[in-house]
Amino acid sequence: MDQSGKKTRCSVGIIAHNEEKNIGTLLQAIIDQHLRQVEITEIIVVASGCTDETIPIVQKYQQRDPRIKLLVQPRREGKTSAINLFLQEAKEDICVQESADTLPREDAVEHLVRMFADPAIGMTGAHKMPVDTPDHLVQLFTHLRLRMEHQLCLDIPRLGEMIAYRKVFDRIPPDVATDEAFVEALVIQRGLDVKYAPDAIVYNTGPTTVKDFIKQRRRNHAGHLYLKHKYGHAVSSIQTPRVVKVALKEVWGAIRLLGVLAALALLEGWSRLLGWYDFAIRRDRHTVWDMAYTQKSDVRRQREETQAQIDAQPMAAALLVEHEVE
């Protein structure tokens, strides 16, 4: 809410190209957002060169919710062109822009937009989380990269996939490929702040082959280099010292994990040796054993404390979900 107590109103823009598998679920997720200080007044879908069932699906949802508007580009003209159509149509000062191949958590828009009650805020970005399990090496790369990106964003935001911004510009130049980074540059040039919203969770899938992983990272890096070359803005992910700092934290974490695993192996081996002694030599210790009294804690209280920590740390929640799935 703003200082007068009114809700912060926003326009939501979705850029879609052949997203029949995702667009319906995404629209329903936007419709079902849990909002308290924020109001979504319109949901604008730009269907860019779609040849599948994306447009008919959006039209069905239009019948359910009058806020949904459909803009159709007969042929694909690039994401920047589609974003400019959204900007022309959007009537609110705050715009939420989301890729059609993502899915926001039920409170993502609230966490993104309520920050604009502060007039110094010009842009906010969501916390990206992968939904595919890291069963293969490339998927593990994606999980690791997004975890590092999260840590980087806590220092200097590098926003993408789902962003919100003040409409302090009318359009994006057609030569820009990395639209989120360009919006970040424009906002900073106008003296406004860019903030990361770690509680605004947006889910997406990563590439599943090495070829696609390289294709995605190559495209993004080329776009960021072009942005720095022509417009003088360097996103945090190409600031090598900061990336190295985050990477070293991951390396230290891996070393600590190896140490913990080694200690666990030693304790488990010693415990099994003592168990064999109780069974083979003493033959009575396995029936009436020494109690592990520190295990006799208040289970409900401990569960509540753990849940509070998970609520405060979205990454911990993600790890818990992965553990439960396994």
Residue 75, by phi and psi: left (phi above 0), alpha (psi -120 to 50) or beta? beta
pLDDT value for 1: 65
Q: Report yes or no on whether pTM surpasses 0.95.
A: no
Q: Give the residue from 202, 227, 219, 218 showing the smallest Cα distance to 146.
A: 202
Ordered by start, the domain boundaries in the chain are 8-238, 239-287, 291-326
Using DSSP's 3-state secondary structure scheme, residue 11 falls into strand
pLDDT per residue as tens digits for the range 226-264:
666 666 666 655 555 666 666 677 677 777 778 877 887
Asked if the model's pLDDT at residue 94 lies above 90, the reply is yes
pLDDT value for 64: 93
pLDDT value for 326: 38
Q: Domain 8-238 carries which CATH code?
A: 3.90.550.10
| Range picked from 115-129, 146-160, 244-258, 261-275 for highest mean pLDDT | 115-129
Asked if the model's pLDDT at residue 113 lies above 90, the reply is yes
- What is the 8-class DSSP label of residue 293? G
Please name the helix (run of DSSP H) or strand (run of DSSP E) that holds residue 162, with its range, or none: strand 162-166
Q: To 10 degrees, the CA torsion angle through 242, 248, 249, 250?
A: 110
pLDDT per residue as tens digits for the range 285-322:
556 666 565 656 666 777 777 777 666 654 444 444 44
CA 186 – CA 173 distance, rounded (Å): 12
Which of residues 186 and 89 earns the better pLDDT score? 89
pLDDT per residue as tens digits for the range 170-206:
888 877 767 777 888 888 888 899 898 999 999 887 7
User: What residue type is assigned to position 169 of the chain?
Assistant: F
Confirm if 82 and 15 have CB atoms less than 8 A apart.
Answer: yes
pLDDT per residue as tens digits for the range 4-40:
678 999 999 999 999 999 999 999 999 999 999 999 9
pLDDT value for 73: 93
What's the token pair of residue 36? 């308290």
CA 122 – CA 220 distance, rounded (Å): 23
Banded pLDDT at 114 (limits 50, 70, 90): very high
Cβ atoms < 10 Å from Cβ of 321: 14
CA 254 – CA 229 distance, rounded (Å): 36
